[in-house]
Structure 1
Amino acid sequence: MTSLPSAGHLAIGDHQLEYRMIGPSPAEAPTLVLLHEGLGCVGLWGDFPDRLAAATGAGVFVYSRAGYGQSSPARLPRAADYMHREALDVLPLVLDAIGFCRGLLVGHSDGASVAAIYAGGVPDHRIRGVTLMAPHFVVEDVSVQSIAEIKTTYETTELRAKLARWHKDVDNAFRGWNDVWLDPAFRSWDIADHLAYIRVPVQIVQGTGDQYGTLRQIAIAKAECYCPVETVILPNTGHAPHREAAEATLRAVADFADRLLQGHGEATTIDL
């Protein structure tokens, strides 16, 4: 596929995956592929993809993984290696289906982990860099505590109804993320070994008030990566930098993408 409608569904394996394509097609310009968080989807990115496309001149592709948004449901329960499967089995098919030629992976939370696994596990010369927002490389106590708390919130408040506005099968979306993270077997999940095999520049955007992870994740990346690692630490910011510190995050991601893509004469940043 070399030209995409601006929105629709991709047939990937047994699933229909919802997507949006903003800006030029992959055949016309580099593409930033956005990978959402554990409860995210196309719609929950808000206007960040549109603003990122405007700021970089690149195309921005965003899709909902199986079980999220308007994509088909995922098979539950998820296995502990579900992010490996997304990175190594599903993402390559998505990139090929959209005609991806060159660009960056931009992941948030679970999506950042998927991006790191892909960059460290798939030798793909098309990937020029990865931006990881609030990434998980290991499971921390604070992560499990917050995920246990949100389970209670989901079961006792209006959170389920709010999420149902974005996910056509809200229980599939929530349980597919929450159950596996609270499985005691998941405590040993660790993708630090993938970091040593990343061969492109890495940007990490982390809020100091992230309730799902700490600056330990950055320390792990710096210890394990042989590639350049740039860090953007945002004060008074929680787990969603692109929503809670939108301007600073947009500028940081756009600048990183521009510097990498400018080296190949492929993008021009537009002043914000």
Structure 2
Amino acid sequence: MSELPRVEVDGAAYEYEDVPGTGSGAPLLFLHEGLGSVGLWRGFHRRVAEATGRRAVAYSRLGHGFSDLPPAKRTIRFAHEEAATVVPALVEALELADPVLVGHSDGGSIALLAAAALPVSGLVVLAPHVIVEEIGLRAIEEAKRAFESGDLARRMARHHRDAEVCFCNWNDVWLDPAFRDWDLRPELGGISCPVLGIQGDADPYGTAVHVGAVQEAVRGTTDLLLCHGGHAPHLERPGLVAATVAGWLRDR
């Protein structure tokens, strides 16, 4: 079990870590990847908090880490549902006025949707998804094989209350034939805050088309960091990415 505090939203408890800030900048809310959790940020949120003096909050979605399990299987509208209900409820419950959203992968998609509807001070997206690419589907199919016959299930069990629930709620949605038409691009025009997009050049789950679509569609200023690496640039290039995010935040 996690020793992290929990906050209740609509009758469900979410684990979270709240790193205090020392300055007056907008707080940061971190939204993890499809198989992630607070712990699987590997301290990135704490490093950014230390570098910027800002309060940083990371939480685990239902079925991730040691938050409660979800009441039902996730639907192909999962990102929209999280952005419309859970994110604003957490912002209110944890008093995160006009936060900067920092999202990785599926968390980046949720952050994009939330930023289009909520008052936010900025948006950082790491390897976000805005459409379904064949390259990503192949990687997700490979992950399914690794879970069913490899050691992925065992490794995930160290980090999640129920590894199977966590995995299937991610994998089943992405491999649902109805999900192939999923496309966030029409909604990106609602984003008016400054945006920083970060993308690795060897990401098996997606290409630079995603951050390119964000840059093209949003109404706010956009900065991009295209770096060498895969799907987790903040873990593969931690010094570069943390310094880039901290530097970008100095003006926000």
TM-score (norm 1): 0.89
**1:194 deviation in Å?**
1.6
2:165 matched residue in structure 1: 172
In the alignment, structure 1 segments of 5+ residues that lack a partner are 1-5, 261-272
Q: Does 1:55 align with 2:51?
A: yes
Contact in 2 for aligned 1:77/1:179 (Cα 8 Å)? no
Q: Does 1:19 align with 2:12?
A: no
Match for 2:8: what amino acid? Answer: A
Residues 213-247 of structure 1: per-residue CA shift (max 9 Å, x gap): 00111221222222211100012x00001101111
Contact in 2 for aligned 1:109/1:134 (Cα 8 Å)? yes
Q: CA RMSD in A?
A: 1.5
Runs of 4+ in 1 over 4 A off after TM superposition: none
| Aligned-partner Cα distance in 1 for 2:201–2:28 | 25
Contact in 2 for aligned 1:74/1:176 (Cα 8 Å)? no
Alignment of 1:127-206 (within 5 A): 127-206=120-199
**1:92 deviation in Å?**
0.4
| Aligned-partner Cα distance in 2 for 1:258–1:160 | 40
- SS for the counterpart of 2:172 is helix
1:265 matched residue in structure 2: none
- SS for the counterpart of 1:204 is strand
Indicate the larger mover: 95-104 or 63-72: 95-104
Match for 2:197: what amino acid? Answer: I
Match for 1:186: what amino acid? Answer: F
Q: Does 1:99 align with 2:92?
A: no
| Aligned-partner Cα distance in 2 for 1:189–1:14 | 29
**1:157 deviation in Å?**
1.2
**1:140 deviation in Å?**
0.6
| Aligned-partner Cα distance in 2 for 1:170–1:218 | 30
- SS for the counterpart of 1:196 is helix
Q: Does 1:241 align with 2:233?
A: yes
| Aligned-partner Cα distance in 2 for 1:173–1:164 | 10
Alignment of 1:57-76 (within 5 A): 57-76=53-72
Change (3 A) 1:226 1:101: closer
Which residue of the other structure, out of 76, 80, 86, is the alignment partner of 2:82?
A: 86
Contact in 2 for aligned 1:76/1:176 (Cα 8 Å)? no
Q: Paired residues, what number? A: 250
2:73 matched residue in structure 1: 77
Indicate the larger mover: 69-78 or 31-40: 69-78
In the alignment, structure 2 segments of 5+ residues that lack a partner are none
**1:25 deviation in Å?**
8.5
